[in-house]
Amino acid sequence: MAWPKLWWMLGGLAALAALEAGSGLWVQSRKAAQTQPPAPYRTYTATGQVMNLKALGSDGCVVQVRLHQWVSLSDGFALAEMPQRGQLYTIGATPEQCLALEVALASAGELEDPKSPRHIYYQAGQWPGGEWRMLGNPSAPRGCGGL
């Protein structure tokens, strides 16, 4: 008679352990979802001239870009807020994006001559706090002629 009680208790412990493990996975996935950065509320893709590049160590860099021409805009721009030619934007970038920026500038031979125009093709997004950040790796513009 002791065996059925023992199996019953072991089955109950196994079910409790499975429930505990399942709830732990749910809590972990919930925490991961909460730590995802929010999405930008508007974005644009453009070509521009790199005016300044400031390294921030392990936090990436900050790029100051003079907009040449936007290629696409997301919803969310009022007419007065649309990017304008010649407007300066300060855009944050991750370390990977900063490296891609250096490669894009070097591929055009623009790092050797600090006086040469330093153009890029990039996508930026703005968060509700007003901060602009790169959305992907910038590249050298293609077929722009006399940028």
pLDDT score, position 102: 86
69-93 pLDDT, tens per residue?
999 999 989 999 999 999 999 999 9
pLDDT score, position 147: 42
Model confidence band, residue 121 (pLDDT cutoffs 50, 70, 90): very high
Mean pLDDT of 37-45: 88
CA distance 114 to 143: 22
Q: Which of 51, 58, 38, 65 is nearest to 126 (CA)?
A: 38
CA distance 101 to 107: 10
pLDDT score, position 67: 95
Model-wide pTM > 0.95: no
Cα dist from 22 to 29, 87, 94, whole Å: 11, 52, 35
pLDDT score, position 116: 63
CATH code, 42-134: 2.40.50
Domain segments of the chain as ranges:
42-134
Mean pLDDT score across all residues of the chain:
79
Lowest-confidence pick of 17-31, 38-52, 123-137 = 17-31
